[in-house]
Structure 1
Amino acid sequence: MPGPIIDAGERVTLRAVEREDAEFVQTCATHPRVRFSLGIDSHQTKAEVRERIENDTENEGTRGFLVCLDEEGAAAGDPDEEETTPVGAVHARAVDRERAWLGYWLDPDYHGEGYAGEAVELVVDAVFRSHPVHGISAGAYGFNEASRGLLESLGFTQEARLRNAWYVDGAYRDGVQYGLLRREWES
């Protein structure tokens, strides 16, 4: 069950990722429509996901958030199951360095609703507000127009295209790297 509220927008709430969220993360991140866009070639067990959640929680350079849709009046601390619905995750790694790395995904049942854009915007703002990073990087596959459009809508600039960089789902795929500098975000 998602933990306490970290930040909230108009429609989404960012909550702390708890160990008990491993099943949700594992189920969604390995869904074919999500796994393919993340480049995950193998199915991760709940134990592996729990271990990654624990490692991320202990790592000072990583900030992970569960993207939730909260009912009106949902508890700010640990909500009841009917008060919040987890729909995805956003993480920022290397927030203790010059350039953080952003990653995100949503349950396919919630694609196309604008939840990812709102959640990513909240995290980008939080990273720049709370950490001395000079910029934030993110990547997307060349074919993932939705993810690329999300990054571009937030002001990210395409910095590189890595041709046939990853072998995913039986074919070589291009990767596109994006960057956003602090001064660009603040202006």
Structure 2
Amino acid sequence: MPGPVFLRGDRVTLRPPEDEDLDFLQRNHNDPAVRRSMPRVHPQNREATREEYVEGGDGTVGLLVCDGDGANPDRLGFCALFDIERTSGRGEVGAWLAPEARGEGHATEALSLLVDYAFAERRLERLNAGRLATNGRSAALLDRLGFVAEGRRRGYYFVGGERVDRVEYGLLGDEWDGA
């Protein structure tokens, strides 16, 4: 039985991951199509997957992206609000989707729900996001949500045998229009 819904949109729901989600999370975390869009180079076994995605820690809000909220909704991906700094009122967001769930607007809705939560319920004033310079899907997603490209860290990651820049984005609470 899936865990309780934490955030609900029109087409997706976000809920805390449970042990029953480990196969989905581990399979996608290790999938080259998902892994190459993020700076992930190490394979992850079941225990490491549980530690990262189910146990979380350090105040991270990690949520499974699901299609709808029926008794057994399809798992689509994962999103997180992390590196929360209460003193300065900022945090960072990130998301990934399984390859078969891409291109249908699920990431846009999921991250929009998470951004709403960060600004409205957590009362953060700024969100950061980063992406590989080679990840055009993430660029389009962040642009759709109103994030502003603020800088570039040259040669920041080593992915697929080459150095890749990291593009830094920011979004202020008073700029958020609920995209």
TM-score when scaled to structure 2?
0.92
The residue aligned with 1:65 is 63
Amino acid at match of 2:128: S
What is the number of equivalent residue pairs in this alignment? Answer: 176
Question: Which residue of 2 is the match for residue 129 of structure 1?
Answer: 120
Q: How does 1:26-45 map to 2 (within 5 A)?
A: 26-45=26-45
Distance 1:175 1:134, change over 3 A: same
Q: 1:3 corresponds to which letter in structure 2?
A: G
Which residue is 2:80 aligned to? 91
% same residue: 38
Which deviations, in whole Å up to 9, do the C-alpha atoms of 1:4-46 show, x marking residues without a partner? 1111111111112112222211111111011011111011001
Structure 2, unaligned runs of 5 or more: none
Moved segments of 4+, more than 3 Å: none
SS for the counterpart of 2:49 is helix
Q: Does 1:164 align with 2:155?
A: yes
CA–CA separation in structure 2 for the residues paired with 1:101 and 1:34: 19
1:57-80, Cα deviation, whole Å (9 max, x unpaired): x54x21111000136xx2xxxx3x
Distance 1:130 1:94 in 2: 16
Superposed CA deviations along residues 90-120 of structure 1, whole A, max 9, x for unmatched, are 0001335221111100000111111101100
Amino acid at match of 2:120: R
* Contact 2:16 2:54 (C-alpha < 8 Å) held by counterparts: no
- Secondary structure at the counterpart of residue 10 of structure 2: coil
Instruction: Quote the residue 2:11 is aligned against.
Output: 11
In structure 1, the gaps of 5 or more residues are none
CA distance in 2, matches of 1:53, 1:116: 18
Per-residue CA distance 1:122-155 (angstroms, 9 max, x = gap): 1000111111222010111111111111001111
Give, in angstroms, the shift of residue 186 of structure 1: 5.2
- TM-score, with length taken from structure 1: 0.88
